[in-house]
Structure formats: structure tokens, C-alpha cells
């Protein structure tokens, strides 16, 4: 009995189950086939890797560029908005300042008290485009303060002259002395320090006509008095003829500036063979007024309430 059991166990050992791998191996051996090689994954070609990397880099760069453009656009829009806001704030501030100032628009008839000083300053500055009260000589200060009434009367006190000087220039430094003729250099009005009196010298001592200067005419444009700032600005246009000595004569041309008139260059007419008298200046002004520069006279109020001349400028 023991022998039978032993035989059965041996049979069981001989009939162990065969795996598929062993079976395949056995089949290959029986048919003379080579053993199966282990499968190796196919390698990715280098060029494919490069293309993938390039694509990824380009994609990322594109996104970065788009994002950067959006950021810049947003930033620029904000800056432009801020600039516009700042500009508008400045405009609003200027409007508020204008509201704060008491500004009065003046007409030409409101400037009667300023006509003489404007006319004199225009003659005194000569060819200078910018001229201020600091540029005036003592003689010019004295001469500019004499009114027609003083001329006609032939004498006046230093106090009368001082009052007129204060009206013209406010509190300005000057000294009383003989007023000299601008043409011959002889006394035009003699001064007595003891009597504080000015007296006109006989015309026979001079032997000539009136004062020289440029033939010209001043045309009013607009005037504005800023009572808050204490300033008065008068804008005019001036047309010039040629330089005159003590005897008036017709001008051969008309000019935009005193400098052109003095040099007799850049005349508004191409030829210089006309005879233009001062009485013709209104017609000449109407022809050329758009070509003439604007001249601005500026006055400042002093503690006495006078608006004294400060500067004139042509642009």
C-alpha cells in the first residue's frame, strides 16, 4: 500500500502544470526557433525633441509677449488718463484763479489818463523790443511828466512835477534838475533849486523845431485791469514811418517795428517811392494790421492807488 501511494505522488510530480512561458520555450526548441528577445521601447528621434522644445518655448514667449503688451497697454492707458486728469485739474485751477481775481475790461476811452505816458514811453524806448521803468534816464522821467498845461504855462513847481511823476511811475527814484533839449542839448526848462521852480527857456535859444523821433501811430486793441493783482495791461499795435528829425516829412514806406523804420528795411511795401504822411497812417494800418506784432504796456498799482508804468514788450 505504501508503494502505491509513492507511485501516485511521483506521477503527480511529473504532471506539474506548464506555464505559458515554458510552453512557448518548449515549442521554440522543438521547432528550432530562436529565443524571443526582450522588447525595447522605441527611442524618440532627437529632431522631434528639439521641435517640441522650440514649440514650448515659442508658446511660452508668445504668452509672455501678449501678457506684456496687455500690461503696457493698461499702464499707458492709466498714464494717459492721469495726464488728462492733471491737465483738467490745472485748467480748473486757472478758472478758479480767474474767479478769485477782480478783472475789469477797459475801453479805449477809459485810458485817457494813460495816453501821454504810453506815447512818451513808446518814443523813449527807441528800437528796444523790451523796455522797463528801470531803463529810463533821469531826464526821460522829468520830460515824460510834463503835461500840455505845463508846456503852455511855461513854468511849474517841483511839487507839481512830482505829482505827475508819481502818477506815471509810482514811487520811482529821480532828482530835480534842468530839463535838457534832446536835439541840441541846451536847457529846455531851467530849474531853480532855491525856488523849486521850473521855467521854460526862450525858444530862440534852440533855433530848431520840435523834437525828433519815429513817425508812428498807436492803435488800441484791448486793456485789462486786474484789481486783485494790482496790474493794468494795455495791448496795442503800432505802425511806423521813417525816422524824423525836428522837421516832419513824408515817409517813403511803413514798417512793423521801430528798428526796421530806423534801418529803412523790411518795409511793408516792396518799393520805397511813396509819400506817406502821418495823416495817412489810418489807411496804412487797415491794410497791414494783421501783419503787425502786438505791443503790451504793463502798469502796476502803488500804495497811492496809481497804476504806474513798469514795462513794455513787443512780441
SS (H, E, C) 2-68: HHHHHHHHHHHHHCCCCCHHHHHHHHHHHHCCCCCCCCCCCCCCHHHHHHHHHHHHHHHHHHHHHHH
Sketch the domain layout of the chain as residue ranges: 213-314
Q: Output phi, psi for 219, to 5 deg.
A: -120, 125
Residue 213 in 3-state DSSP? Answer: strand
Q: What is the pTM of this model?
A: 0.66
Taking Cα atoms as reference points, which of 212, 298, 216 lies closest to residue 256? 216
Is residue 241 within 8 Å of residue 261, measured between CB atoms? yes
179: Cβ–Cβ under 8 A, 6 or more apart, which residues? Answer: 139, 142, 143, 146, 187, 188, 189, 191, 198
* Cα gap 272→283, rounded to integer Å: 17
Most confident of 7-11, 21-25, 63-67, 207-211: 63-67
Cα radius of gyration (the chain): 51
Q: Which three cell numbers stand for residue 67?
A: 501678457
Question: What is the reported pLDDT for 140?
Answer: 95
pLDDT in tens, 261-306: 999 999 999 887 788 888 899 999 999 999 999 999 999 998 888 9
**pLDDT interval class at 46 (50, 70, 90):** low
Amino acid at each position: 500500500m505504501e508503494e502505491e501511494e509513492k507511485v501516485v505522488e511521483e506521477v503527480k510530480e511529473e504532471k506539474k502544470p506548464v506555464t505559458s512561458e515554458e510552453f512557448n520555450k518548449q515549442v521554440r526548441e522543438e521547432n528550432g526557433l530562436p529565443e524571443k528577445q526582450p522588447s525595447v521601447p522605441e527611442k524618440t528621434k532627437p529632431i522631434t525633441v528639439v521641435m517640441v522644445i522650440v514649440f514650448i518655448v515659442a508658446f511660452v514667449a508668445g504668452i509672455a509677449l501678449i501678457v506684456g503688451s496687455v500690461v503696457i497697454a493698461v499702464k499707458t492707458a492709466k498714464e494717459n488718463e492721469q495726464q488728462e486728469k492733471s491737465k483738467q485739474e490745472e485748467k480748473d485751477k486757472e478758472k478758479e484763479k480767474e474767479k478769485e481775481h477782480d478783472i475789469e475790461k477797459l475801453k479805449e476811452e477809459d485810458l485817457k489818463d494813460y495816453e501821454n505816458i504810453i506815447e512818451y514811453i513808446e518814443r523813449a524806448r527807441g528800437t528796444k523790443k523790451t523796455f522797463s521803468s528801470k531803463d529810463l534816464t533821469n531826464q526821460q522821467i522829468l520830460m515824460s511828466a510834463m503835461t500840455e498845461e505845463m508846456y503852455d504855462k511855461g513854468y511849474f513847481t517841483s511839487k507839481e512835477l512830482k505829482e505827475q511823476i508819481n502818477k506815471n511811475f509810482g514811487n520811482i527814484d529821480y532828482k530835480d534838475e534842468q530839463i535838457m533839449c534832446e536835439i541840441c542839448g541846451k536847457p529846455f526848462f531851467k530849474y531853480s533849486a532855491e525856488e523849486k521852480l521850473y521855467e521854460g527857456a526862450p525858444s530862440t535859444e534852440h533855433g530848431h523845431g520840435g523834437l525828433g523821433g519815429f513817425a508812428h501811430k498807436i492803435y488800441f486793441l484791448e486793456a485789462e485791469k486786474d484789481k486783485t493783482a494790482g496790474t493794468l495791461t494795455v495791448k496795442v499795435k503800432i505802425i511806423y514811418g521813417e525816422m524824423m528829425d525836428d522837421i516832419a516829412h513824408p515817409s517813403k514806406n511803413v514798417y512793423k517795428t521801430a528798428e526796421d523804420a530806423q534801418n529803412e528795411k523790411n518795409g511793408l511795401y516792396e518799393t520805397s517811392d511813396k509819400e506817406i504822411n502821418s495823416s495817412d497812417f489810418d489807411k496804412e494800418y487797415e491794410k497791414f494790421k494783421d501783419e503787425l506784432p502786438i505791443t503790451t504796456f504793463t502798469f502796476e498799482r502803488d500804495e497811492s492807488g496809481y497804476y504806474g508804468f513798469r514795462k513794455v514788450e513787443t512780441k
